[in-house]
């Protein structure tokens, strides 16, 4: 595991930057056709959504003396067939997809760490369509440089 002093450039990432970087990363994954943030139930307002969906909702965020933790819920959602035969395949694919997004993100942004272990929760949910998927609460930790002033401006 890296220590924060090993981060390249000591560049802080804000909640905004982490969220946008995760969305950009998810767009690179072949089975993701829609990305978004906000309340997951906003998917009900999108009748022509192109599944699979990667969606981010916010949880609690914590600022410590040396680090800031941003906890986000990452969702993978896909449409269930009429006979329900693909529910388990969607959930399995969702775990793999979220894991791939996290790994690609961490390989791209070395100034962010996450807290392991990640717990995945599967679900069945009626949005506009009958859907299945998985979500995980993931805590992203960054160096806390807020309020630190250098010698020069």
Q: pLDDT at residue 9 above 90?
A: no
Instruction: Tell me how far apart the alpha carbons of residues 35 and 52 are, in angstroms, rounded to a whole number.
Output: 9
| pLDDT tens string 28-51 | 999 999 999 999 999 989 888 999
Q: What percent of the chain has pLDDT over 70?
A: 86
């Amino acid at each position: 595991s890296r220590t924060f002093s090993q981060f390249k450039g000591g560049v802080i990432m804000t909640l905004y930057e982490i969220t946008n970087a995760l969305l950009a990363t998810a767009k690179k994954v072949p089975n993701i056709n829609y990305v978004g943030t906000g309340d997951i139930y906003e998917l009900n307002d999108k009748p022509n959504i192109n599944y699979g969906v990667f969606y981010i909702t916010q949880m609690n965020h914590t600022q410590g003396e040396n680090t800031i933790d941003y906890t986000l819920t990452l969702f993978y959602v896909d449409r269930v067939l009429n006979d329900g035969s693909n529910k388990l395949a969607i959930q399995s694919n969702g775990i793999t997809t979220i894991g791939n997004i996290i790994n690609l993100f961490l390989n791209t942004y070395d100034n962010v760490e996450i807290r392991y272990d990640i717990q995945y929760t599967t679900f069945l949910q009626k949005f506009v369509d009958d859907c299945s998927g998985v979500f995980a609460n993931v805590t992203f930790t960054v160096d806390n440089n807020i309020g630190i002033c250098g010698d020069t401006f």
